[in-house]
Structure 1
Amino acid sequence: MNSNLKNLIENVVKSTVDTNENIDAAYLAAAIEKELHEQVTLTSLRSKLEVLFEYEKNYLELIKSYKEEIKFASTIQEDIRKERAKFFAKTLKEASNTLSDSQVESTVASSWLKELVESYTQSLDLSSVLIEEHSMDMVGKIREEAKAHKMQLEKVAHHAGEK
């Protein structure tokens, strides 16, 4: 606590305590100073906790408001994974069997299957990148909104602390 406040407390205690009483003015002043310091610290902590609570509450509200977009991005990512698995488990096998049944020369069939795998993999990879970028943009947007709200809360708390 600053020395001006400490001196003020000591002067107030000295002026209110009768010198004939067995009360140690310095001890009483220190006790008052300690209690005041604890109250100020508690008020400051309470204010910071309120800002943090409101920030977290707002963050959850933002996530709720973007719930559909989050579900959409998650569903697309899941669909891409399923599509990739299906391609390698079923589609590629069917294409290979069709080429074999059509009696396409094995080197031609192999080359064609290789190009099919590369093309399809690139397409799925591009889709994954696009949805990942969209997801990251959405997370960034949520964080920016939450940060802006937190700054507003901190300003309000700061101004309330000045009063």
Structure 2
Amino acid sequence: MSTCYVHHDVDAVGTCVGCGKFICENCNTEIKGKNYCKSCIDELFEENKKKIEKLEDHVKVNQPMVFMNAGGGGGASSSSSSSSSSSSNNGGMLGAHYTKSKVVAGLLGILLGGIGAHKFYLGRWGWGIIYLLFCWTYIPLVLGLIEGILYLVSNDDDFARKYDKGYRRMAG
């Protein structure tokens, strides 16, 4: 083998998988069974730091807008939107508050989807009425079956974000 690219008088123990240079015992850092030199590790940390900063910037940009109702009236909706935005802080999540169950919605879709029961449960009254009006065609029955299965196999948070208007993340 050769000598270390930093310490020219010391025998190398391996090569860095990042840059391919020979490194000695002192310059070697092993991560998951692979050898890295200090400069490649510094590069990896900088790359990851940039990725994290980019994700944090993306989260800041995609925070929900909160509109305050200065004229009064409709206070329940403005207070729920401000509470959901203040609790969507991504630091230290302990859990989430769900007001709709994907299991209930899924079972209603599968068993009573033909009359739109799952749509009424999820607060989508317009679609529920349309399902009721067209129940004689059996189209809502097929759609309800498909939607019920989709609800059941979906992720809890994805379901809640899409269908649960009262969904809130609980900050820690």
Q: TM-score under structure 2 normalisation?
A: 0.29
Bigger relative CO (Cα 8 Å, ≥ 6 apart): 1
Larger Rg: 1
- Structure having the larger proportion of residues in helix: 1
Q: TM-score under structure 1 normalisation?
A: 0.31
